Amino acid sequence: MLKKFKYREVTWIDLESPTGEELGAVGREYGLQPIVRGELEGPTTRAKVDIYSDFIYAVFHFPRGLLGHPTPVIERDYIEIDFIIGKNFLITTHYELVNALNDFSKIFEADFMLKRNHDPLHAGFVFYYIIKEIYRSLELGLGYLNDRLRLVGRDIFAGREKEVVRILADINHELLDSRWALKQHHQLFTSLALAGPEFFGHDFRHHLAVLTGEHDRVWNMIESNHATFLDLRETNDSLLSIKNNEVVKMLTAIAVTFLPLNLIVQVFAVPAANRSLMFSLMAAGFLVTFWVIKKRRWL
């Protein structure tokens, strides 16, 4: 699906799961090399920045869960957005609906009229505001994740250690996906900082520095949540271990306590004259065993 937006001299083309015909038409209109068109046909596993004579081609991966997209079992755990940034055009390509992009498209013209009305406009600014919008969504997702961790902490100390094991596993999966997707962003912005000023002027370095700061803030939030997760998991494991040890001790104590009763079977094999003595010995053994268990606080 192709959507086209225009504000002043800048055109933004958004491609969602593009067809070959759409890629061909856009490629011809904006002079995209065949190798670039080929890469836009589907997602890739590698984030990167490639510099061409008339545009910059950047591939970004974003954690699916933090953007509010459920992760199907057989699908990728990240959302890919490809950016082709020319001086007066921006092409975004993605392979599923991206809520943050969809929200930004609804306020595109109004947002720029308020923020950039009197300044020279180029496609780099559109890229800048899109990335900022996505990072804003990531921060919201991390805030929700932090709330989940707080609830897990309450459940742990309320005695529901077993119930939160699965929840902790899901949170760990989400944190791992987030770290994997975002760890490459800093290097991407470094590459853009080298090429961006040639396309958009020296002042654009400031905007890339702001994006780097946005990334660092999101990354620090992830690391903070990860540290909280590790503390909660360690606490939960310790409490589970204590409970399991108590259960084992109790079962052992019960087994030892009632072990003398196993002799009952042998009682009936003892001559009647000796049975009273056997019962006395069993009772004494039971009382001694019970006293030892209580003395050692096994029960």
pLDDT at 252: 66
pLDDT at 93: 93
Which tokens in the block code for residue 229?
């997760």
Cα(92)–Cα(102) distance, integer angstroms: 12
Q: What is the pLDDT of residues 252-286, one digit of tens each?
A: 666 656 665 565 555 555 555 555 666 666 666 66
- The beta-carbon contacts of 236-241 under 8 Å, at least 24 apart in sequence, are 236/156, 236/161, 236/164, 236/165, 236/168, 239/156, 239/161, 240/161, 240/162, 240/165
Quick one: pLDDT at residue 235? 84
For residues 109 and 20, the model is more confident at 20
Residue with tokens 């119930």: 163
Q: What is the pLDDT of residues 30-40, one digit of tens each?
A: 888 888 888 88
pLDDT surpassing 70 at residue 70:
no
pLDDT per position as a tens digit, 38-57 = 888 888 888 999 999 889 99
Which one is predicted more confidently, 162 or 70? 162
Alpha-carbon span 232 to 149, nearest angstrom: 8
Provide the pLDDT for residue 251.
63
Q: List, for residues 181-228, the tens digit of each pLDDT value.
A: 899 998 999 899 888 888 888 888 888 999 999 999 999 999 999 999
pLDDT tens track for 71-114: 554 466 889 999 999 989 999 999 988 888 888 887 776 666 55
SS3 call for 119: coil
Mean pLDDT of 222-241: 86
Residue 27's pLDDT is: 87
pTM value is 0.77
85-123 burial, b at 16+ Cβ within 10 Å, e below that, comes to bbeebbbbbbbeebebbeebbeebeeebeeebeeeebbb
Q: Looking at residue 185, what is its pLDDT?
A: 92
Dist. CA 111–CA 10, nearest whole Å: 14
pLDDT digits (tens, 9 = 90+) for 139-157: 999 999 999 999 988 988 8
Inform me whether the pLDDT recorded for 298 exceeds 60: no
| Residue 152: burial class (beta carbons within 10 Å; 0-12, 13-18, 19+) | buried
